[in-house]
Chains A and B, each alone.
Chain A
Amino acid sequence: MKKEDVPQDISALGKITTELCYATDKEGKYITEQSRGWDVKITALDVTWENVAARVAEASRKILNREASPLLFFMEKNVMDISILAGYTGFWKWQVKRHLTFAGFNKLSESKLLKYAEIFNVTVDELKNPEVHAC
């Protein structure tokens, strides 16, 4: 990539810091150049977050239909998956899977609920009644 081709499309990161890139000068020698972001990367991030939002919406739908427990909503909202959630809680993956079902969640003890609530940074009440909307 030539120095003058280093893209300068302002990204979320570009507002805080510029990124360092390696690019070539006129003689073809590598130098460093600052970049404020690149359109291709910005849209890659955008579609990824749109997908997160879609997954959260899908989780809300499932919770209202009692197909899943409120944990699913918080898991998706925090961009986690079952293995990450298992890592943070210290539960086994099969336990997390069970807690993600409506019936499994209702059997959870107070201390286990507290554990989940702490990880998602909400109260136990909020954990049990997430603000999910039908959409």
Chain B
Amino acid sequence: MLVNFKHQQAAHCESGVTRNLLQNIGIEKITEPLAFGIGAGLFFIYVPFLKINNGPAIAFRSFPGLIFKQTCRSLHIPVKRKKFSSRQTAQLFLDEQLAAGHAVGCQVGVYYLPYFPKEYRFHFNAHNLVVFGKEGDNYLVSDPIMDTVTSLSSYQLERVRFAKGALAPRGQLYYAEARQEITDLQMKEAIKAGIKKNVFNMLRIPFPVTGVKGIKFTGRKIKTWRDKLGPHKAGLYLAQLVRMQEEIGTGGGGFRYIYAAFLQEAYAYHPTDELLKVSAEFSKAGDLWRTAAVQAAGIYKQRLGSQEDFNVMGDYLLETAEIERKAFEALAKINWHS
């Protein structure tokens, strides 16, 4: 069983999977940044009290699965999504879909992914890949992080599909059900909806740990980490922040660069100069996130470590939050006349 599938590398796993799945059913217009933006992928959340890998629970992207869902919904593409309690049913269902000619997106955990280098394998369950064929006992896998296709035995695939812990995938798979023509008008509408949704997520959620408010909250918290946790543990916390921000599958700068690229591509559909201006602001925000990462590295390498260094670190986040707040306010005010 082999579905005709074109693999393309991507910066972020879920927007990459979304693009690859949609392009494969003939929707050539969708690119990775467009998938990310229409899917309203940009986010920030810091969940206090919750620990992941003994560090703070911080994410720079929306909840796993939402990018694909939101993109398909905005483009009116029917989607099939399923979770399983039984491993046998999960494999059977996958085989059936492959036989029916569907390439299938799967949510997996990375800890048991054999082709990842050992250093990158944590119990992180929000990774996505596409299964597009089966040869004997081996499934053909298109992982958007890798530059070529790989394969997994049925045991290996079952193991990652049923990884346990936070956000356990429970064998979750998804695919677009039908081939469909997407008009430019539909793209325009979808882009508009994606931006509006992202504005809401970053500015309007009435909760102090999400969106722009969440970034400020984290910035203020960081300043207290040195006294509260001690320099060593505070360094580890910062290393975790940097990994969530920069590690494989973010495109760098905590996804801010992908979002800036999205706004540039959106300009092709909505030629209002505001989009380009805001795009430049997100580039700035991405750069500042990276500057903060360098500062954090100084701390966890123990080159820096005074309270002043932590204050500088926290202030970077406060400054970034302000840039992003203004950028999203500007997006909210765009007059979508066309």
Interface residue ranges, A against B (CB under 8 Å): 1, 11-13, 15-24, 28-30, 32, 35, 38-41, 43-45, 47-49, 51, 55, 79-81, 83-84, 87-88
Name which residue of chain A comes closest to B122, CB basis. Answer: A79
Residues of B whose CB lies within 8 Å of any CB of A are 9-11, 33, 51, 53-54, 111, 115-123, 145-148, 164-166, 168, 235-236, 239-240, 242-243, 246-248, 251-253, 257-258, 260-261, 264-265, 279-280, 283, 286-287, 290, 293-294, 296-297, 300-301
Further 17 A-B residue pairs, CB within 8 A, beyond A19-B11, A20-B10, A44-B246: A1-B286, A12-B117, A16-B146, A17-B147, A17-B148, A20-B11, A20-B251, A22-B11, A22-B33, A28-B280, A30-B33, A38-B246, A40-B242, A45-B247, A48-B53, A84-B123, A87-B168
Are B283's CB and A1's CB within 8 A?
A: yes
- Please give me the residue from chain A that is nearest to B118 by CB atom: A12
A-side binding surface: helix, strand, loop or mixed?
Answer: mixed
How far is it, in angstroms, between the C-alpha of A119 and the C-alpha of B119 when the chains are bound? 20
Q: How far is the CB of A34 from chain B (nearest CB, A)?
A: 8
Quick one: which of B242, B261, B265 contacts A44, CB cutoff 8 A? B242
B123, A48: Cβ atoms under 8 Å?
no
Chain A minimum-CB-distance residue to B276: A28
Closest to B265 in A: A30
- Chain A residues within an 8 Å CB radius of B287: 1
In contact, B246 and A41 (Cβ under 8 angstroms)? yes
B67 to chain A, nearest CB (A): 16
Q: Is the CB of B123 within 8 A of A44?
A: no
